[in-house]
Structure 1
Amino acid sequence: MSFVEMVEMVDILKRANYDGKKAKIMAKVVKSLHRNFGERRSKDQLRKRWSDLKLREHEQYRKIRRVLQKSK
């Protein structure tokens, strides 16, 4: 998953205050990634990637948050 795709995913999930239980939000992420990048990923793959970003990849998550703050 590219950095730009992760930024898009984090942006949508943060705006929707995603907590891992709302399937409609993850469906929105799937559609957005497919529309903008042509990537097809399952909800489970994206859910795992989101979890990995928050729990294991702190530095990359901080970089994504900085990019999102600069864009607003």
Structure 2
Amino acid sequence: MAERQQVHDIISNEEDKESPEPQTSRSRRRFKASNMSFVEMMEMVDILKGADYDGKYGPYSNPNVRKAKIMTKVDRSLQKNFGVRRSKEQLRKRWSDLKLREQDQYRRIKRVLQKNAG
């Protein structure tokens, strides 16, 4: 058993020496999907609620264009304030998950935002 491990270690070391260049992704528009901090989520919720992202307060013309512009604002704000780049898809999914799956955290965020505003 120990011999097999030593052979495996030798082979893996040889493979490391053969390919010293770092592996890069094929797409340059891919952003690393790391966990979102609470303050990042607060920033996102603040912008999305303030801009009525879900369209609760009236019919809007071109809702898809409107939503894309709002997501661009969120992306720029997160990059400016936290130095984090995220795709609009990641942000859209995070917003959906907050509302549908993580309602307790969504309520906490709304409560903190209300305290800060009032």
Of 36, 42, 45, which residue of structure 1 is paired with 2:87?
42
Deviation at 1:12, TM superposition (A): 0.1
Partner of 2:16: none
Deviation at 1:18, TM superposition (A): 0.1
Hey, what's the Cα distance between the residues in 1 that align with 2:90 and 2:103?
19
**Which protein has the larger Cα radius of gyration, Structure 1 or Structure 2?**
2
Partner of 1:62: 107
Hey, what's the Cα distance between the residues in 2 that align with 1:18 and 1:10?
10
Deviation at 1:33, TM superposition (A): 0.1
Secondary structure in 1 aligned to 2:111?
Answer: helix
Question: What is the identity, as a one-letter code, of the residue corresponding to 1:53?
Answer: L
Relative to the length of structure 2, the TM-score reads 0.60
Q: Which runs of 5+ in 1 are unaligned?
A: none
Greater fraction of residues in helix = 1
Deviation at 1:14, TM superposition (A): 0.1
Deviation at 1:50, TM superposition (A): 0.0
- Over residues 14-49 of structure 1, what are the superposed CA-to-partner deviations in whole Å (9 max), with x where a residue is unaligned? 000002831000000000000000000000000000
Deviation at 1:3, TM superposition (A): 0.1
* Residue 74 of structure 2 corresponds to residue 29 of structure 1: yes
Deviation at 1:59, TM superposition (A): 0.5
Task: Number of aligned residue pairs: give it.
Answer: 72
Root-mean-square deviation (Å):
1.1
Question: Identity over aligned residues, as a percent?
Answer: 75
| Runs of 4+ displaced beyond 4 Å | none
If asked which structure has higher relative contact order (CA below 8 Å, sep 6+), I would say 1
Secondary structure in 2 aligned to 1:7?
Answer: helix
Hey, what's the Cα distance between the residues in 1 that align with 2:80 and 2:114?
23
Say which is worse superposed, 40-49 or 18-27, in terms of deviation: 18-27
